[in-house]
Chains A and B, each alone.
Chain A
Amino acid sequence: MKVYISVDMEGVAGIVDRAQGSLPGIDYERGRRLMTQEAAAAVRGALAAGATEVWVSDSHGANGMRNIIAEDLPEECWLISGDSRPMGQIEGLDGSFAALALVGYHTRHGLSGVLDHTISGREVFELRLNGRPVGEVGLNAAVAGHLGVPVVLVSGDHKLAGEAAEILPWAEYVTVKRAIGRHASIAMHPTKARQAIMDGLTRALGRLPSMKPLVLDKPVTADLAFKHTSMADAAAGLPGTARVNDLTVRITAPDARALYPLIMTAIHLGGHAVSAPMKSGTLNPPGS
Chain B
Amino acid sequence: MKVYIATDMEGITGIVDRAQISPPGVDLRRGRNLLTEDTNAAIRGALAAGATDIIVSSGHGGNGMRNIIDENLHPAAWLVSGDTRRSSVEGMDDSFDALVLIGFHTRHGLSGVLDHTITARDIYEIRVHGRPIGEIGLYGLAAGHFGVPVVLVSGDDRLAAETREWFPWAVPVVVKYAIGRHAARLMHPRRGQRLIEEQTTEALRRLATMKPLRLPAPITVELQFKRTAHADEADRIPGVERVDDCTVRAQVPDGATAVSLVRTCIKLGATAQNDPMR
Contact: A71 with B19, CB < 8 Å?
no
A246 at the interface (CB under 8 A from B): no
By beta carbon, the residue of chain B nearest A78 is B185
Tell me how far the C-beta of A120 lies from the nearest C-beta in chain B, rounded to whole angstroms: 18
A70 at the interface (CB under 8 A from B): yes
CA distance A228 to B53 in the complex (A): 65
CA distance A107 to B14 in the complex (A): 30
Interface string of A55-89 (1 = CB under 8 A from B): 10000000111100111011111111111111000
Residues of B within 8 A of A71 (CB): 14, 30, 34, 188-190
Interface string of B179-194 (1 = CB under 8 A from A): 1111111111111000
A163 at the interface (CB under 8 A from B): no
Contact: B187 with A78, CB < 8 Å?
yes
- Other than the known A55-B185, A71-B190, what 6 A-B pairs have Cβ atoms closer than 8 Å? A63-B19, A64-B19, A73-B188, A81-B14, A82-B180, A92-B179
A27 at the interface (CB under 8 A from B): no
CA distance A71 to B188 in the complex (A): 7
Contact for A82 among B179, B187, B191, CB less than 8 A? B179
Interface string of B32-49 (1 = CB under 8 A from A): 001000000000000000
B16 at the interface (CB under 8 A from A): yes
Residue ranges of A at the interface with B (Cβ–Cβ < 8 Å): 23, 55, 63-66, 69-71, 73-86, 91-92
Tell me how far the C-beta of A241 lies from the nearest C-beta in chain B, rounded to whole angstroms: 24
Residues of B within 8 A of A85 (CB): 179-180, 183
CA distance A76 to B186 in the complex (A): 11
**Can you sample 20 A-B contacts with CB below 8 Å?**
A23-B26, A55-B185, A63-B26, A64-B19, A66-B27, A71-B34, A71-B189, A73-B188, A75-B188, A78-B187, A78-B188, A79-B186, A79-B188, A80-B184, A82-B113, A82-B179, A83-B182, A85-B180, A91-B179, A92-B185
By beta carbon, the residue of chain A nearest B113 is A82
B201 at the interface (CB under 8 A from A): no
B20 at the interface (CB under 8 A from A): yes
B17 at the interface (CB under 8 A from A): yes
By beta carbon, the residue of chain A nearest B187 is A78
Given A71-B189, A71-B190, A75-B190, does the pair A66, B184 have CB atoms closer than 8 Å?
no
Q: Which 9 pairs of residues, A with B, have the shortest CB-CB distance?
A: A82-B183, A82-B16, A70-B14, A79-B186, A75-B188, A82-B182, A71-B189, A85-B183, A84-B180
Residues of A within 8 A of B183 (CB): 65, 80-85, 91
By beta carbon, the residue of chain A nearest B186 is A79
Contact: A70 with B188, CB < 8 Å?
yes
Tell me how far the C-beta of A231 lies from the nearest C-beta in chain B, rounded to whole angstroms: 24
Given A71-B34, A71-B190, A75-B191, does the pair A80, B14 have CB atoms closer than 8 Å?
no
CA distance A92 to B184 in the complex (A): 10
Given A63-B19, A66-B19, A66-B27, does the pair A84, B187 have CB atoms closer than 8 Å?
no
Tell me how far the C-beta of A105 lies from the nearest C-beta in chain B, rounded to whole angstroms: 20
Tell me how far the C-beta of B162 lies from the nearest C-beta in chain A, rounded to whole angstroms: 20
By beta carbon, the residue of chain A nearest B178 is A82
Residues of B within 8 A of A63 (CB): 19, 26
Given A73-B188, A75-B188, A77-B188, does the pair A84, B181 have CB atoms closer than 8 Å?
yes
Residues of A within 8 A of B191 (CB): 75
CA distance A75 to B188 in the complex (A): 5
CA distance A253 to B113 in the complex (A): 30
By beta carbon, the residue of chain A nearest B191 is A75
Tell me how far the C-beta of B113 lies from the nearest C-beta in chain A, rounded to whole angstroms: 8
Residues of A within 8 A of B19 (CB): 63-64, 66
Contact: B186 with A81, CB < 8 Å?
yes
Residues of B within 8 A of A80 (CB): 179, 183-186
Tell me how far the C-beta of A26 lies from the nearest C-beta in chain B, rounded to whole angstroms: 14
CA distance A78 to B189 in the complex (A): 10
CA distance A81 to B27 in the complex (A): 13
Residues of A within 8 A of B26 (CB): 23, 63
